[in-house]
Amino acid sequence: MSMDADPTEREMEILKVLWEIQEGSVREVHERLTPESGLHFNTIQTQLRIMDDKGLVKHRREGRVFLYRPQCTREDVSSRFVKKVYDGAVNELMLNMLRSEKLSDKELQELEAMIAEARSKKSQKRKKRS
């Protein structure tokens, strides 16, 4: 991860779009953000330039258009958040989330599946070391 700084709220909205589309022009990002955000094209263009400087995105030129792609993953951002806010204590984060959120049965099942997968991976690593 090459992030020099944590993304702001607006940068997170742009990153969410880029994570979804993988790479896009200012126009494509603008079209996906405009209905909810009401942000102007020039604002998004400026924001993407700033994000490029911060190492959150990179661009390449295709003709006269710059195409931007994220330089960090959701996992990178969430990991930095957990380290910053919870000193890396994932269990505290999970307990807070479970207490404060009204999770559906489906969401709880997804969390259980992720925990099972993490246990399985950890078990496989132990077997490889032995």
Summarize pLDDT for 4-38 with one digit per residue, the tens. Answer: 677 888 999 999 999 999 999 999 999 999 777 78
Give the domain range for residue 48: 9-70
Is position 79 within any domain? Answer: no
Contact criterion met (CB below 8 Å) for 68 and 19? no
Domain of residue 33, CATH code: 1.10.10.10
Q: Which tokens sit at 17?
A: 């779009």
- Contact at 8 Å (CB) between 72 and 15? yes
Q: Give domain status of residue 47, yes or no.
A: yes
- The answer as to whether 81 is a domain residue is no
- pLDDT of 55 reads 92
Q: Tell me what pLDDT residue 14 has.
A: 94
List phi, psi (to 5°) of 5.
-150, 160
Is 3 contained in some domain? no
Distances (CA, A) of 107 to 45, 77, 93, 115: 36, 21, 16, 12
Give the residue, 117 or 100, on which the prediction is more confident. Answer: 117
Instruction: Select the more confidently predicted residue: 3 or 123.
Output: 123
In terms of Cβ atoms closer than 10 Å to its own Cβ (0-12, 13-18, 19+), residue 107 is: exposed
pLDDT of res. 89: 67
The per-residue pLDDT for 75 is 84
Looking at the fold, whether 28 and 55 belong to one and the same domain comes out as yes
Instruction: Assign residue 63 a region (left: φ > 0; alpha: ψ between -120 and 50; beta: otherwise).
Output: left
What are the pLDDT digits (tens) for 48-103?
A: 999 999 999 999 999 999 999 999 888 888 777 777 776 766 677 677 777 776 77
pLDDT at 125: 76
Indicate whether 102 and 64 sit together in one domain. Answer: no
Q: How far is CA 41 from the centre of its chain?
A: 22
Q: Is residue 34 part of a domain?
A: yes
Number of independent structural domains in the chain: 2
Q: Are residues 54 and 107 in the same domain?
A: no
